[in-house]
Amino acid sequence: MSSSEGERGPEGLETSSSATRPAVSSATRSADGPGPQAARPSKLGGILSLLASELRTLFRRRRTWAMLGALALIPILIAVAIRIAGDSPSGRGPAFLDRITQNGLFVGVTAIIVAIPLFLPLTIGVVAGDSIAGEASHGTLRYLLIAPAGRIRLLVVKYLAAAAFCAAATLTVVVVGTLIGWALFPIGPVTLLSGTEVSVGEGLLRFLMIAAYVTVSLLGLSAIGLFLSTLTTVPVGSMAATAIVAVVAQILGALPQLEWLHPWLFTRYWLDFADLLREPPVWDSFADNAVLQAGYIVVFGLLAAARFVTKDVLS
């Protein structure tokens, strides 16, 4: 036990306990446990306080920033490559790529189109797939549950945190893309798909609407990841499975033989946000997408709850 010699404080448990215990007790006695006299704390307040703590934890984590940094690299790479190599022949490469040299604002949209099939699902897979399995693998799940966090409450909070990450991820791509485009290319009024020209401000608003659209697109996948995360105590498994599900869904969506299946795939509307770039914006695909994603949230949310509520926590 020689190694632990240096870790003990100037005062050990023995001496400090008697000194500080009364202070602890008196500080909290008034608001102590759920005795018959104590007012029941509100359910919403409980969720908000746990959510705040969860968001703080998520966004304090180096891994989260590494993923956001990697996503930020996408628009940066695109912008720098075009700046160095010059314009690409029209009609090749991702949509809007050929517009960038005329208007730097298009870097963000181009980057998000590049990020949607793989990069965004990968990072969502990491966050959503890790949500419960990661806690289980660290053993912190049992301590959250005996706190007691409440199983449903914990699931809801974990899902909301994953959704917050979806928003952060898409915003990172769009915002960094806009900034780098601003820095490297001329900026001007945005020509919409309908041919109308709108101001820079209006154009930026449209791009934010696209970010919102993509965020919504990822909510179904987040619910799938949350569910997969309740199945295992090995987070790598549920993370990889979530990413694979996203890729498989896109492959299935590309096979004309499976036409009957396409309306049910959560990836179906992933790239259909062009309607937001019309004047006036057409919201149909946004609504269809939202309904589809909501369906996935309900189904996989219920599956996750059914699984998690009865799950033996043995990790």
**Site residues (CB under 8 A) for other proteins?**
1, 3-5, 7-14, 16-18, 20-21, 23-25, 27-29, 31-35, 38, 41, 43, 45-46, 49-50, 52-53, 57, 60-63, 138-140, 142-150, 154, 310, 312-314
User: Residue 199 corresponds to which tokens in the numbers above?
Assistant: 């101001």
Which region, left, alpha or beta, applies to residue 310 given φ > 0 means left and ψ of -120 to 50 means alpha?
alpha
- Whichever of 11 and 284 has its CB closer to other proteins, that residue is 11
Total residues found in the chain within this entry: 315
Q: Which is nearer to other proteins, 154 or 226 (CB)?
A: 154
**SS3 state of residue 198:** strand
Q: At closest approach, how far in Å is the CB of 41 from other proteins?
A: 5
Through-space distance between the first and last CA atoms of the chain, rounded to whole angstroms: 27
Q: How far is residue 156's CA from residue 146's CA, in Å, rounded to a whole number? A: 17
Specify the 3-state DSSP secondary structure of 104: coil
**Residue 200's Cα: distance from chain center in Å?**
28
Retrieve residue 81's tokens: 């490559």
Q: How far is the CB of 13 from other proteins (least distance, A)?
A: 3
Residue 158 or 268: the one with the smaller Cβ distance to other proteins is 158
CA 109 to chain centre: 18
Q: CB 134 → other proteins: shortest distance, Å?
A: 9
**How far is residue 169's CA from residue 174's CA, in Å, rounded to a whole number?**
9
Nearer to other proteins, 28 or 194 (CB): 28
Task: Please say which residue, 63 or 81, places its beta carbon nearer to other proteins.
Answer: 63
- Give the nearest distance from C-beta 234 to other proteins in angstroms: 16
Q: How far is the CB of 279 from other proteins (least distance, A)?
A: 46
